[in-house]
């Protein structure tokens, strides 16, 4: 059976599923129940210096739902912990004492001065925690006070604070990055330059999820007013995957351990983060939706998939897909595929036809009896029909055989990726081939 045990920056845990720093990790009661349910580790909800913040006593979460009321994304305006620092530290120590085999990382956010950071680190170290996560990501509330994403958006600040912390603690230092930047590689490089042991990403995306059209206020609404918050949940996963991959394949940061965060809802999501370079994953919204025991399905699913694929450990999966992430100009333009519709699976709804006819390449014909056929001469294999079809597996893209002639262009199909990339990088060779 696959071994799900992970060792992330020297921190061992029985599986790669950690709870992210968020409401589910705010107190001892929650974390004990999470560990009992099977979570491999937690990042304790962000601690600060007392007196630090007061949270609103009203709605803290907004939401975006799918047609079936499934939660797709959530907006959070909650700040870091409003519980006393001494209470949090005492509870962290007690939980770590009773669950020594589970990862215990403590999230921190204090004012951007050296003394504040170096003052809180010994307090955390005394609890026996396994590491700290520097919260440079929160886009609301604390950022207006010069913390959170206000630090994470300035690479020089990231490097400076990370270096302060590495000088002041024996614990591994994980830097949590904000996605509210134009290029995630710059803050990741800064974290590495400051000596970070790892990065975690993504933190939440700055957002307003909805507006109440009766009161004309953003939601969640507090006494008639609303504010921007942090967006999380399944909807942010594509953004998170891309940013993880960018760091994993960047020559300046490749090899830097990554804790993947952002919309991890199933074992498959976790496997995708691992494949793109993450060493473990952190979850929040899925637990707030389904409860702590959801991790049991994740563990079983990941383990079964790894067994089926022959992966013996999480390390065997981590980074497997990174070599296949490339820039657009290196894609093989000699590769050609065509859509194929399974007539036995087709229910005749016509979605593929409408989408292709109205918004794509007019490559699907509707025959009498609502029979849909692909017009190869027009099909560019854009995949739109696959994406709008309500029947999984009904439409697929089938590669044309090497040496065949593309009926759309009249050109010979070649799958030779090596020659293609050579031609892309060598203009003379490319011209000769043409």
Residues acting as catalytic residues: 138
Contact 132, 121 (CB under 8 A): yes
CA distance 106 to 124: 7
Nearest to residue 287, comparing CAs of 279, 296, 278, 274?
296
Nearest to residue 248, comparing CAs of 239, 237, 259, 238?
259
For residue 349 the two structure tokens come to: 């709804």
Nearest to residue 47, comparing CAs of 3, 1, 90, 101?
90
Please work out, in degrees rounded to the nearest 5, the angle formed at the alpha carbon of residue 404 by the alpha carbons of 398 and 408.
75
Does the N-terminal peptide bond of residue 202 adopt cis geometry, omega within 30 degrees of 0? yes
Task: Decide the pairing of beta strands 41-47 and 103-108.
Answer: parallel
Q: Beta partners for 396?
A: 340
Q: What is the DSSP string of 154-171?
A: -HHHHHHHHHHHHHH-SS
| 3-state class (DSSP) for residue 37 | helix
Contact 150, 212 (CB under 8 A): no
Burial of residue 432 (CB within 10 Å: 0-12, 13-18, 19+) is exposed
């Amino acid at each position: 059976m696959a071994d799900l045990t992970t060792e992330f920056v020297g921190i061992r845990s029985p599986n790669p599923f950690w709870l992210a720093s968020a409401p589910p990790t705010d107190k001892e009661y929650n974390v004990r129940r999470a560990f009992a349910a099977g979570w491999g580790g937690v990042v304790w909800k962000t601690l600060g210096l007392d007196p630090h913040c007061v949270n609103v006593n009203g709605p803290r979460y907004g939401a975006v739902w799918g047609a079936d009321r499934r939660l797709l994304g959530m907006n959070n305006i909650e700040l870091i912990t409003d519980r006393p620092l001494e209470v949090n530290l005492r509870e962290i120590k007690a939980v770590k004492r009773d669950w020594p085999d589970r990862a215990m990382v403590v999230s921190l956010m204090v004012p951007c001065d050296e003394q504040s950071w170096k003052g809180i680190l010994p307090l955390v170290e005394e609890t026996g925690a396994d590491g700290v996560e520097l919260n440079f990501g929160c886009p609301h509330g604390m950022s207006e006070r010069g913390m959170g994403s206000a630090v994470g958006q300035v690479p020089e600040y990231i490097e400076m604070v990370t270096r302060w912390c590495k000088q002041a603690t024996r614990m591994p230092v994980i830097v949590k990055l904000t996605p509210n930047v134009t290029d995630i590689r710059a803050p990741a490089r800064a974290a590495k330059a400051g000596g970070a042991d790892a990065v975690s990403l993504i933190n939440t995306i700055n957002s307003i999820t909805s507006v109440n059209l009766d009161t004309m206020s953003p939601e969640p609404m507090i006494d008639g007013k609303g504010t921007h918050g942090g967006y999380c949940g399944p909807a942010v996963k594509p953004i998170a995957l891309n940013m993880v991959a960018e760091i994993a394949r960047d020559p300046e940061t490749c090899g830097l351990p990554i804790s993947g965060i952002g919309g991890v809802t199933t074992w498959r999501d976790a496997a995708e983060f691992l494949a793109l370079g993450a060493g473990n994953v952190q979850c929040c919204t899925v637990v707030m939706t389904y409860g702590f025991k959801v991790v049991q399905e994740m563990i079983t699913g990941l383990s079964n998939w790894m067994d089926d694929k022959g992966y013996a450990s999480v390390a065997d999966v981590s980074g497997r897909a990174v070599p296949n992430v490339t820039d657009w100009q290196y894609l093989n333009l000699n590769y050609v595929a065509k859509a194929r519709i399974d007539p036995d699976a087709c229910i005749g709804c016509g979605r593929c036809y409408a989408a292709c006819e109205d918004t794509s390449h007019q490559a699907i014909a509707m025959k009498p009896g609502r029979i849909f056929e692909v017009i190869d001469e027009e099909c560019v294999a854009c995949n739109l029909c696959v994406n709008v079809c309500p029947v999984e597996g009904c439409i697929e893209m089938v590669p044309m055989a090497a040496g065949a002639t593309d009926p759309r262009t009249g050109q010979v199909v070649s799958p030779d990726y090596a020659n293609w990339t050579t031609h892309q990088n060598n203009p003379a060779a490319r011209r000769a081939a043409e």
